[in-house]
């Protein structure tokens, strides 16, 4: 027998996230979480120092003048100077801070400022994302190109010329004043060059500079002011890179047990951008698939997880999955996409209410009538004890708070018990639930005389 003290307090279990770094290794650099295969320090990352496809991260300790010194620490790819802004295992991506190219002129067409840039990820697990990045040029007398001459030997670019600013649309990088183009797959390095046809002399007043950048397309929104002001200056430019394990396909990699990176309860998937593969927890598991005990069972029954159990159903967590079933007194399969749970009128659940410190003593059995707008319950007091703990076995749903008013014996020698208010411990989710609130239905006058509020003085028991 389960006895629950009222009022019920819902205890939400704390969610303990499985670790993402190797045991004993630094999991955070500043606010950035560094998941294995990446890691800081010897033995904490996959691969060896300075090796091909090393997953080494350098964490530069932040400025000690700040009180929370570690939150200002910054992470860098390898041992270099490319700062990491975000890291993710699924999708296997990192976002790093990048640069931009620009060229500015004075009103007579002499170049006053010029910067081009290049990035190279050769020998690293990183490849510039062809789906998330765009090569963007800004200007009304602008030609810029992005190229790579080692592995691919390609050049691509964008040109933008415009006579007046009236045709430039704020917010839309669509060819006038701003142009964007895609980059190829499997790109590990690039150079950006920038130039101009008329040195901006024809539109200098409104547009003295050209800009060119490879950046996360979600980050960039073209603004009219980009033509007249250097909006890139001082801002962090994010560029997205995909990463992969090794340079083999899943089929080849799995045959080399020693180097195969995917742990238990995970699966392998070829990289979508260049050679190599990635590991992902199988359905029903979460965590870091690159760790030996990384992918851990998801408790789909935990509060806040959107499982497919219907309301009222019992959720049972299983290893790698879960099951829904209906509680006693209900029929159906318990699934939201199935037959759900419907109350079975023939076998309603038995819930006992043990009344504590009840100040009245009864000597006869009585019935309790509950009525609601959609169902009628008839509760019978089956156990009578001439002491302050009578038990009512009833057909009540799990209650968390209610008020019982006791009436007098009626002419038949029955005592009516009026439940004047009740609330379900699951917060009413639908109008249907609210309708379960039962109103006193008979003996209103008697009720007034003998009514007694015994809120919080009883226990509820289930058997
Ligand atoms: C720490 O911050 C101060 C002020 O921002 C700066 O002058 C100094 O160079 C910084 N030191 C380091 C090690 O970054
Ligand atoms: C900063 O990080 C180091 C490890 O890199 C750790 O030992 C130290 O406790 C951290 N300090 C704070 C204030 O978090
Ligand atoms: C235009 O700029 C280029 C440098 O980008 C310079 O070599 C050339 O002389 C300039 N032309 C004029 C007319 O100033
Ligand atoms: C532009 O720069 C050139 C070279 O520095 C200079 O000769 C010329 O006077 C400048 N023009 C203006 C309008 O400042
Ligand atoms: C262009 O759009 C940005 C927001 O995207 C807005 O802040 C800015 O004021 C707009 N500029 C003009 C000239 O409409
Ligand atoms: C960016 O800002 C720095 C310092 O504020 C300035 O020296 C530089 O000229 C700016 N760059 C451009 C392209 O305006
Ligand atoms: C694949 O990686 C191995 C080291 O992990 C390296 O020796 C080999 O050259 C790479 N092959 C290609 C085609 O890049
Ligand atoms: C990986 O790529 C190879 C070669 O393209 C292909 O044969 C294989 O089916 C792919 N494996 C997976 C798991 O996608
Ligand atoms: C569950 O669904 C709600 C509403 O659609 C959403 O806000 C919440 O993030 C979801 N939770 C999970 C764990 O998916
Ligand atoms: C799921 O629950 C139903 C109903 O209780 C039961 O018949 C079924 O065997 C359960 N399935 C699993 C996989 O436990
Ligand atoms: C309902 O969905 C669950 C999981 O989404 C699935 O396992 C089950 O087979 C589905 N049932 C029906 C009857 O479609
Ligand atoms: C129960 O409630 C319904 C609807 O409000 C009503 O029609 C019915 O008469 C009630 N039954 C009793 C026994 O009071």
Q: pLDDT of 253-262, one tens digit each?
A: 999 988 899 9
pLDDT in tens, 284-326: 999 999 999 899 999 999 988 889 999 889 999 999 999 999 9
CA torsion, ordered 178, 183, 189, 194, to nearest 10 deg: -30
Identify the residue whose C-alpha is closest to ligand 9 atom 1: 306
Sign, Cα dihedral of 409, 415, 416, 420: positive
* Nearest atom, ligand 6, residue 104 CA: 13
Task: Point out the ligand nearest to the CA of residue 336.
Answer: 11
Q: Which of 108, 199, 204 to mutate to test the pocket of ligand 4 (most atoms within 8 A of CB)?
A: 108
From ligand 12's centre to the CA of 371, what distance in Å?
Answer: 6
Tell how strand 117-120 and strand 189-195 pair up: antiparallel
201 lines ligand 4 (CB under 6 A): no
Pairwise pLDDT comparison (54 vs 106), residue with the higher score: 106
Tokens 């408790």 found at: 299
Task: Point out the ligand nearest to the CA of residue 322.
Answer: 10
- For residue 179, give Cα distances in angstroms to 168, 174, 191, 223, 377: 11, 6, 18, 12, 71
Of 25, 29, 53, 22, nearest in space to 41 by CA:
25
Assign 389 a pLDDT band (cuts: 50, 70, 90). Answer: very low
CA distance 288 to 39: 13
- Which range has highest mean pLDDT (64-68, 239-243, 377-381)? 239-243
From ligand 5's centre to the CA of 169, what distance in Å?
Answer: 10
* Nearest atom, ligand 3, residue 195 CA: 5
* Nearest atom, ligand 1, residue 62 CA: 14
From ligand 10's centre to the CA of 303, what distance in Å?
Answer: 21
Identify the residue whose C-alpha is closest to ligand 3 atom 10: 110
pLDDT in tens, 163-210: 888 888 999 998 899 999 999 999 999 999 999 999 999 999 999 999
Task: Point out the ligand nearest to the CA of residue 331.
Answer: 10
**Does 401 score more than 50 pLDDT?**
no
Tokens for 206, please give them: 């409104």
Identify the residue whose C-alpha is closest to ligand 9 atom 3: 306
Of 220, 205, 132, nearest in space to 174 by CA:
220
Q: Is 18 exposed, middle or buried (0-12, 13-18, 19+ CB in 10 A)?
A: middle
* Nearest atom, ligand 1, residue 64 CA: 1
Of 65, 81, 63, 82, nearest in space to 73 by CA:
63
Identify the residue whose C-alpha is closest to ligand 11 atom 10: 337
pLDDT in tens, 340-373: 888 765 543 333 333 333 333 332 223 333 333 2
Residue spans of the domains in the chain: they are: 19-88, 95-243, 348-462
Identify the residue whose C-alpha is closest to ligand 6 atom 14: 230
Residue 444's H or E segment, with its range, is: helix 444-450
Q: Among residues of the chain, what percentage have pLDDT more than 90?
A: 53
**Does 452 score more than 60 pLDDT?**
no
pLDDT in tens, 261-285: 999 999 999 999 999 999 999 999 9
Tokens for 337, please give them: 């996409």
CA distance 315 to 307: 9
Residues 6+ apart with CB under 8 A from 417: 366, 368, 379, 381, 392, 404, 405, 406, 407
* Nearest atom, ligand 12, residue 442 CA: 14
Tell how strand 178-181 and strand 133-138 pair up: antiparallel
* Nearest atom, ligand 10, residue 333 CA: 4
Identify the residue whose C-alpha is closest to ligand 6 atom 3: 233
For the chain, the maximum distance between any two Cα atoms, rounded to a whole number of angstroms, is 110
Task: Point out the ligand nearest to the CA of residue 226.
Answer: 5
CA distance 148 to 189: 6
pLDDT in tens, 42-61: 899 998 766 666 899 999 98
From ligand 10's centre to the CA of 146, what distance in Å?
Answer: 58
pTM above 0.75, yes or no: no
**Does 393 score more than 70 pLDDT?**
no
165 lines ligand 5 (CB under 6 A): no
Q: Is 264 exposed, middle or buried (0-12, 13-18, 19+ CB in 10 A)?
A: middle
Identify the residue whose C-alpha is closest to ligand 3 atom 13: 109
* pLDDT at residue number 166: 85
pLDDT in tens, 208-225: 999 999 999 999 999 999
* pLDDT at residue number 18: 75
**Does 457 score more than 70 pLDDT?**
no
Identify the residue whose C-alpha is closest to ligand 4 atom 4: 110
**Beta-bridge partners for 405:** 418
Q: Helices H, strands E: what count in the chain? A: 3, 34
* pLDDT at residue number 448: 29
Of 232, 248, 239, 136, nearest in space to 192 by CA:
136
223 lines ligand 5 (CB under 6 A): yes
53 lines ligand 7 (CB under 6 A): yes
* pLDDT at residue number 19: 83
Tokens for 425, please give them: 């411990």
- List b or e across 359-386, with b for residues whose CB sees 16 or more CB atoms inside 10 angstroms: eeebeeebebbbeeeeeebebebeeeee
Q: Which of 318, 323, 331, 334 to mutate to test the pocket of ligand 10 (most atoms within 8 A of CB)?
A: 323
From ligand 11's centre to the CA of 140, what distance in Å?
Answer: 56
Cβ < 6 Å from ligand 10: which residues? Answer: 323, 325
pLDDT in tens, 323-345: 999 987 788 999 999 998 887 65
Beta-carbon-side half-sphere exposure of residue 32 (alpha carbons within 13 Å): 29
Task: Point out the ligand nearest to the CA of residue 244.
Answer: 7
* pLDDT at residue number 228: 92
172 lines ligand 5 (CB under 6 A): no
CA distance 208 to 234: 19
């Amino acid at each position: 027998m389960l006895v629950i003290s009222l009022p019920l307090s819902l205890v939400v279990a704390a969610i303990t996230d499985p670790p993402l770094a190797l045991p004993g290794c630094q999991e955070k650099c500043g606010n950035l979480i560094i998941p294995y295969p990446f890691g800081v320090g010897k033995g904490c990352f996959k691969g060896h120092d300075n090796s091909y496809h090393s997953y080494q991260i350098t964490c530069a300790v932040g400025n000690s003048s700040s009180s929370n010194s570690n939150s200002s620490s910054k992470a860098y790819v390898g041992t270099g100077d490319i700062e990491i802004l975000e890291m993710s295992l699924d999708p296997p991506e990192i976002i790093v801070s990048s640069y931009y190219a620009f060229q500015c002129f004075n009103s007579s067409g002499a170049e006053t400022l010029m910067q081009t840039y290049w990035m190279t990820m050769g020998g690293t697990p990183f490849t510039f994302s062809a789906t998330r990045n765009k090569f963007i040029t800004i200007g009304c007398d602008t030609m810029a190109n992005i190229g790579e001459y080692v592995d691919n030997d390609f050049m691509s670019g964008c040109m933008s010329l415009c006579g007046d600013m009236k045709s430039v649309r704020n917010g839309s990088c669509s060819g006038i004043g701003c142009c964007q183009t895609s980059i190829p797959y499997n790109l590990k390095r690039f150079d950006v060059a920038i130039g101009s046809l008329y040195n901006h002399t024809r539109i200098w007043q409104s547009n003295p500079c050209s800009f060119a950048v490879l950046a996360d397309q979600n980050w960039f929104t073209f603004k009219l002011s980009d033509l007249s002001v250097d909006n890139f200056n001082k801002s962090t430019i994010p560029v997205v890179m995909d990463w992969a394990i090794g340079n083999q396909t899943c089929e080849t990699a799995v045959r080399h047990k020693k180097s195969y990176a995917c742990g238990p309860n995970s699966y392998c998937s070829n990289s979508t951008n260049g050679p190599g593969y990635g590991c992902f927890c199988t359905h029903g598991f979460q965590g870091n698939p690159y760790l030996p005990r990384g992918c851990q069972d998801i408790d789909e029954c935990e509060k806040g997880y959107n499982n497919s159990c219907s309301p009222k159903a019992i959720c049972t967590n299983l290893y790698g999955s879960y099951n829904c079933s209906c509680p006693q007194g209900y029929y159906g399969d318990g699934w939201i996409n199935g037959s759900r749970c419907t109350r079975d009128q023939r076998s309603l659940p038995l819930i006992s209410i043990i009344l504590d410190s009840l100040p009245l003593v009864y000597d006869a059995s009585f019935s309790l009538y509950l009525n609601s707008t959609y169902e009628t319950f008839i509760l019978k007091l089956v156990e009578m004890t001439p002491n302050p703990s009578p038990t009512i076995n009833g057909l009540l749903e799990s209650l968390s708070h209610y008020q019982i008013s006791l009436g007098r014996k009626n002419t038949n020698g029955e005592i009516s018990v009026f439940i004047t208010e009740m609330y379900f411990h699951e917060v009413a989710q639908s109008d249907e639930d609210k309708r379960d609130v039962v109103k006193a239905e008979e003996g209103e006058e008697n009720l007034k005389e003998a009514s007694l509020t015994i809120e919080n003085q009883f226990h509820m028991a289930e058997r």
